Each structure stands twice: as structure tokens, then as C-alpha cells.
């Protein structure tokens, strides 16, 4: 019986898989052109499965494939050129032998002791042959400088290939988290390399590489191909189109998250393929431990530029244009935490947004534990129902009494985080929240709170005058219409020097919609 899997390789007759044949076809075009390129994507982004399917398609179309990996081979092969060349040829020979490729012994018996000798050997071994070299886990090397010298040999042979002066691989595909141009940066951060005078932090001997533009995230129609296969076996009656779109909305197609949500519904939630079941799966994903989240927070903690950028986006509501030269953005894209949306840089998906916001909120909870008001959870969650009006009143009272004498600049920067920090204990274990990235900015944030079968929409605003406040009413009504909701909540933080004495809340009705208008002073 097939199942959903989130670890390692996915195999069609064992696992439910998204149909990625279109992605493989796009990569095949690059191979047929003779391109050399890098597939660098974050951890658990489907690289291994994509390479496996690409490998099979290459063989089917008559290519000779040497698919090797640098993972688990130790440090010795990277000590010098001789050990590297010997290891490289040994791995290729083993691959060709396992595939029963004629002529593998040429690679196996050849003695190559330097990059110069390797250059000459490739002329002989690759002549009149369509050999595709795939190197997986290229960033697992202990001495990247030796590997970069090898890449330089490949570049030079690629450039001479068209002139007929040399022979080399038909195509070379390097795969890992770090792109070749980032390997030196990785070494600097690891403390294994120090820049010399005039040496660039980022430079690459791989400047002949074609741009890899294949979108490896899963679209809603692609997710539907996997759910269709599942439905054939289990006949749950799910609305495949609707479920695919919802999964895509929560994950933005991040392969691990797509599969993990499906696995959780199938194995832990009694195959509840409904919106409610998906929300429960999201809630469980937001609190689980996994290598994906372990890596994510390790990278956030060890890179201050990335941490500061995430904090500015999530907590301060800042919006930034994409800049490939910005270190924080570069790292965020590299690790799959950020994504480019048009000209803007955004958090990759709502699950990452909530998980990272929770991380910052926990820091606030710990640092200000003595200030947290001990409001009984039961006072707000009566009979498994969330009393949003009461919660907002309690929060405004807490805010007024605890933070009234704080510096206004601090409050304006931190007000959203204070709200999330106060909210979390009331919904933990039963509900979860997420922030609408499309509406978040320095003046406005929409927080969606799911609690059991109920959903609440709270718009957080900063006071910028009566006219802007009326516009906030219109924005909330428009947003309620888009979500097909009749009721919402507006929480406005007032930072005027002569603020109102106490917080206030009143119901406002406009047509068929109503919302609680709260002024937090």
C-alpha cells in the first residue's frame, strides 16, 4: 500500500507523488542543449526525487548517466587534487559498472594524479559519447577550494568544446543547498577560509552555468495529481480541487510541507480530507519538530542579517524590494525561508510566517514573563468557544496597564508582537493563527485566528487620523467580503502624544457586515 512520505526519495509504486514530469521535461531541454547548471534549493525541496526521475528519463532517451554524490565520503578525497581526482573517477566507474555500461573499466583503471591529467583523460573518455554528470550534495565537501578547482576545469573544457579542441561531458548538473558562487561564503561562515587582500566574498568558476528557472514548488494542479492517485485507492469523497488549492495556500507549494500535511491527515487525523482536517494538520505542523524547522531556526540564529530582516518583515510590517546584493535576502532565498514575489521579497509561505513569528513571540514571553497578565484561559475560551470580544477587551486592559509608560517608538515597533504574544496561550492546543502576507505592511496587518470550527478576522492598525481610520473600516469590510465573513474585529493602536485615557470598544454596522472597533491606547 502506497503512503505519503517526507523523508528521502519518493518512488511511484511505494509513495503518493506529485506528477513532476513537466519539470523533468524542462530540465531535459537544458541537457539536450548541452547546458551546465546548478540545481540549488533548500533542504527537503524535492531535489533528490527530481534528480531520480531525471536520471530515469535521461537513460530512457539514450544518455549515459554518471550520478554521484559527495555525501558520506569523508574528508580525505578533498585533501588535495590527487585524492579528489582518484575519488571522482572511482565513483563514476562504480556508477557506470552498476548500470552495466560498456567501457566503465576505462574509468576504473585509469590513474589520474592531477587536474592536468584529469583534463587529458576526459578528452579520451568523453569523445563521441553523451555522458551526463550529476553531482549531488556538492556543498557537503570539507575543502571547497579543491572542488572549485575541479569546477574550473569543467568550465574551461565547456568553453573549448564548441571549437572542437576538447571533449567533455554533454551536461553537468551540480545539486545542493548552496550554489557554487556561495560555497566560499559557506566556508567563511564555517571558519574554514579567510579572505585574503583583494579576494571577493562571492566569485565563481561556474560563470558558464545556465540559469536554472524551473519552478520546483508544487502548483495546485500538480498537488491534485497526487491527491487523485490517493483518492483512487481510498475513495474518501474529498473535493480534490478545493483541497489542492487550500494546501497550496498554506504551503506555497513547498514540497516537504505539501507532503507533510497530506501525511498527517492520512495517518493521524483519520483521513479527514476537509478544510477542518487540513487546519488541524497545519496546527500540528506548527508545533512539530523536524529537520526542516531545526535547520531553519539554526540558520536564523546564526545569521544576524537574516534574523533582522525577518523581524522587520514579520513584526514591524516592513516591505522590501528584492535586492540580490543584500546578505539577508540572499541567505533567506538560499535556505528557502524567503521567496521573491514580483519586485518584493516575502516569507515563503504562511506556515513559515506563523512558525517564525511564534519564535519571536516566545522570545518576548521569556524576556517579559513578569509583565504577562495572568488572565485565566477559561475566561476567554468558554465551552470550547473563543470569545473574541472578551479577549480583545482583556488584551487592551493588559496593554494599558503594563505598557502605558513605555517609550512610544518601542510600542509602535512592537505592538503586533505584543498582541501575538498575548494571544498564543489562549489558542495553544486548540487553535492557531496566521498572518495575511498580502495585507501586512507598516500600517496594517490582518490576523486570521482558527479555533475549533470558528474563524476570526482581526485587522491590526496604527492610528493615523480619522480619515485613515474610516478607510480602515472600508478595508476591513472589503476583506470580510473576500473571505465571505459577516463579522470582524478592528484593533487600532493609538500612539498620539495626547492619547485617549482608556481603551474603548464599540460595534459598528455597515450594511450586512459588523465589526468591533477597538482603540488600544
pLDDT per position as a tens digit, 250-273: 999 999 999 999 999 999 999 999
Same domain, 392 and 476: yes
Q: Is 518 helix (H, G, I), strand (E, B) or coil?
A: strand
Residue 198 lies in a domain: no
- Report residue 440's pLDDT band, with 50, 70 and 90 as the boundaries: low
Order of strands across the sheet that contains 171-176: 36-40, 171-176, 131-136, 64-69
Same domain, 409 and 438: yes
Average pLDDT estimate for 66-89: 89
- Rounded CA-CA distance 380/391 in Å is 6
Same domain, 351 and 410: no
What is the per-residue pLDDT for 31?
A: 98
- Rounded CA-CA distance 303/306 in Å is 5
Task: Using the predicted structure, report yes or no on whether residue 199 has a pLDDT greater than 50.
Answer: no
- Rounded CA-CA distance 378/314 in Å is 29
CATH label of the domain that carries residue 171:
3.40.50
- Rounded CA-CA distance 358/346 in Å is 17
What is the per-residue pLDDT for 79?
A: 87
- Rounded CA-CA distance 225/168 in Å is 38
Task: Enumerate the β-bridge partners of residue 490.
Answer: 459, 517
Q: Is 50 helix (H, G, I), strand (E, B) or coil?
A: helix
Residue 171 lies in a domain: yes
Which grid cell is 49? 526525487
Residue 154 lies in a domain: yes
Nearest to 252 by CA among 280, 212, 222: 222
Which grid cell is 20? 513532476
Q: Which spans in 315-373 are helix H?
A: 327-334, 350-367
Same domain, 343 and 466: no
What is the per-residue pLDDT for 267?
A: 97
Pairwise pLDDT comparison (213 vs 437), residue with the higher score = 213
Same domain, 394 and 471: yes
What is the per-residue pLDDT for 372?
A: 55
- pLDDT > 70: percent of the chain: 89
Which grid cell is 431? 487553535
What is the average pLDDT value for the chain, to the nearest integer? Answer: 88
Residue 302 lies in a domain: no
Q: Which residues form the domain of 346? A: 308-367
Q: Which of 168, 190, 212 is the last residue of a domain?
A: 190
Task: Enumerate the β-bridge partners of residue 133.
Answer: 66, 172
What is the per-residue pLDDT for 430?
A: 82
Instruction: Please check whether residue 432 is in contact with residue 450, taking contact to mean a CB–CB distance below 8 angstroms.
Output: yes
Residue 34: left (phi > 0), alpha (psi -120 to 50), or beta?
A: left
Residue 210 lies in a domain: no
Q: Helices 47-60 and 21-32 meet at what angle, rounded to 10?
A: 60
Report the alpha-carbon angle 75-79-85, nearest 5: 100
Task: Using the predicted structure, report yes or no on whether residue 338 has a pLDDT greater than 80.
Answer: yes
pLDDT in tens, 111-160: 899 999 999 999 999 999 999 999 998 877 655 678 888 988 999 999 99
pLDDT in tens, 459-517: 998 888 899 999 989 989 998 998 889 999 999 988 776 555 678 899 999 888 999 99
- Rounded CA-CA distance 15/442 in Å is 44
pLDDT in tens, 400-437: 887 766 666 777 778 888 899 889 888 887 888 888 76
Same domain, 166 and 94: yes
Side-chain-facing half-sphere of 141: CA atoms under 13 Å: 30
Same domain, 66 and 171: yes
Residue 269 lies in a domain: yes
Same domain, 324 and 262: no
Range of weakest confidence among 81-85, 310-314, 404-408: 404-408
Same domain, 156 and 277: no
Same domain, 234 and 185: no
Question: How many domains, in total, are found in the chain?
Answer: 4
Q: Which of 317, 345, 367 is the last residue of a domain?
A: 367
Instruction: Please check whether residue 175 is in contact with residue 132, taking contact to mean a CB–CB distance below 8 angstroms.
Output: no
Task: Using the predicted structure, report yes or no on whether residue 195 has a pLDDT greater than 60.
Answer: no
Task: Using the predicted structure, report yes or no on whether residue 236 has a pLDDT greater than 80.
Answer: yes
Average pLDDT estimate for 86-104: 91
Q: Which of 339, 367, 395 is the last residue of a domain?
A: 367
Q: Helices 240-251 and 275-285 meet at what angle, rounded to 10?
A: 30
Strand (E) or helix (H) holding 23: helix 21-32
Residue 105 lies in a domain: yes
Same domain, 247 and 320: no
Range of weakest confidence among 137-141, 333-337, 516-520: 137-141
Residue 12 lies in a domain: no
Same domain, 380 and 347: no
Q: Is 66 helix (H, G, I), strand (E, B) or coil?
A: strand
Instruction: Report which DSSP code applies to 209.
Output: P
Q: Give the strand pairing for 131-136 and 171-176.
A: parallel
Average pLDDT estimate for 84-89: 93
Predicted TM-score of the model (pTM): 0.87
Report the alpha-carbon angle 87-126-75, nearest 5: 15
Which grid cell is 182? 556561495
- Report residue 165's pLDDT band, with 50, 70 and 90 as the boundaries: confident
Average pLDDT estimate for 327-344: 93
Q: Is 488 helix (H, G, I), strand (E, B) or coil?
A: strand
Instruction: Please check whether residue 151 is in contact with residue 15, taking contact to mean a CB–CB distance below 8 angstroms.
Output: no
Range of weakest confidence among 58-67, 189-198, 286-295, 463-472: 189-198
Amino acid at each position: 500500500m502506497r503512503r505519503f512520505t517526507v523523508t528521502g526519495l519518493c518512488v511511484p509504486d511505494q509513495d503518493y507523488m506529485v506528477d513532476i514530469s513537466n519539470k523533468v521535461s524542462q530540465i531535459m531541454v537544458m541537457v539536450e542543449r548541452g547546458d551546465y547548471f546548478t540545481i540549488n534549493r533548500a533542504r527537503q525541496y524535492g531535489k533528490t526525487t527530481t534528480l531520480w526521475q531525471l536520471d530515469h528519463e535521461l537513460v530512457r532517451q539514450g544518455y549515459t548517466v554518471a550520478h554521484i554524490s559527495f555525501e558520506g565520503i569523508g574528508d580525505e578525497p578533498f585533501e588535495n587534487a590527487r585524492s579528489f581526482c582518484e575519488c571522482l573517477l572511482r565513483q563514476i566507474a562504480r556508477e557506470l559498472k552498476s548500470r552495466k555500461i560498456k567501457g566503465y573499466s576505462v574509468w576504473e583503471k585509469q590513474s589520474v594524479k592531477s587536474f592536468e591529467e584529469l583534463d587529458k583523460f576526459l578528452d579520451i573518455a568523453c569523445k563521441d559519447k553523451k555522458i551526463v554528470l550529476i553531482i549531488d550534495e556538492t556543498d557537503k565537501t570539507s575543502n571547497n577550494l579543491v572542488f572549485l578547482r575541479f569546477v574550473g576545469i569543467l568550465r574551461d573544457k565547456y568553453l573549448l568544446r564548441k571549437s572542437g579542441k576538447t571533449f567533455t561531458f554533454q551536461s553537468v548538473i551540480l545539486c545542493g543547498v548552496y550554489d557554487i558562487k556561495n560555497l566560499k561564503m559557506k566556508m567563511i561562515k564555517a571558519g574554514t577560509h579567510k579572505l585574503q587582500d583583494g579576494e571577493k566574498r562571492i566569485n565563481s568558476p561556474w560563470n558558464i552555468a545556465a540559469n536554472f528557472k524551473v519552478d520546483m514548488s508544487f502548483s495546485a494542479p500538480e498537488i491534485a495529481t497526487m491527491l487523485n492517485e490517493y483518492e483512487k485507492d481510498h475513495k474518501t469523497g474529498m473535493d480534490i480541487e478545493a483541497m489542492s488549492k487550500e494546501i497550496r495556500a498554506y504551503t506555497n507549494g513547498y514540497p516537504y510541507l505539501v507532503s507533510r500535511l497530506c501525511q498527517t491527515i492520512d495517518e493521524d487525523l483519520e483521513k479527514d480530507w476537509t478544510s477542518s482536517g487540513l487546519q488541524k494538520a497545519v496546527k500540528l505542523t506548527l508545533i512539530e519538530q523536524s529537520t526542516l524547522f531545526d535547520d531553519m531556526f539554526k540558520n536564523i540564529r546564526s545569521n544576524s542579517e537574516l534574523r533582522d530582516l525577518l523581524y522587520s518583515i514579520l513584526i514591524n510590517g516592513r516591505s522590501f524590494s528584492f535586492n540580490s546584493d543584500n546578505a539577508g535576502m540572499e541567505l533567506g532565498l538560499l535556505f528557502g525561508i524567503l521567496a521573491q514575489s514580483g519586485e518584493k521579497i516575502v516569507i515563503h509561505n504562511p506556515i513559515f510566517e506563523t512558525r517564525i513569528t511564534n519564535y519571536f513571540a516566545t522570545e518576548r514571553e521569556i524576556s517579559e514573563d513578569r509583565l504577562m497578565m495572568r488572565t485565566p484561559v477559561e475566561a476567554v475560551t468558554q465551552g470550547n468557544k473563543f470569545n473574541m470580544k472578551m479577549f480583545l477587551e482583556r488584551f487592551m486592559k493588559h496593554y494599558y496597564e503594563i505598557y502605558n509608560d513605555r517609550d512610544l517608538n518601542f510600542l509602535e515597533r512592537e505592538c503586533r508582537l505584543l498582541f501575538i504574544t498575548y494571544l498564543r496561550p489562549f489558542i495553544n492546543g486548540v487553535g492557531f493563527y496566521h498572518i495575511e502576507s498580502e495585507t501586512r505592511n507598516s500600517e496594517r496587518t490582518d490576523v486570521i485566528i482558527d479555533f475549533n470550527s470558528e474563524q476570526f478576522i482581526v485587522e491590526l492598525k496604527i492610528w493615523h487620523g480619522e480619515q485613515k481610520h474610516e478607510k480602515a473600516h472600508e478595508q476591513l469590510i472589503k476583506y470580510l467580503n473576500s473571505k465571505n465573513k459577516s463579522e470582524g474585529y478592528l484593533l487600532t493602536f493609538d500612539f498620539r502624544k495626547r492619547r485617549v485615557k482608556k481603551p474603548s470598544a464599540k460595534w459598528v454596522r455597515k450594511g450586512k457586515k459588523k465589526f468591533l472597533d477597538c482603540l488600544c491606547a
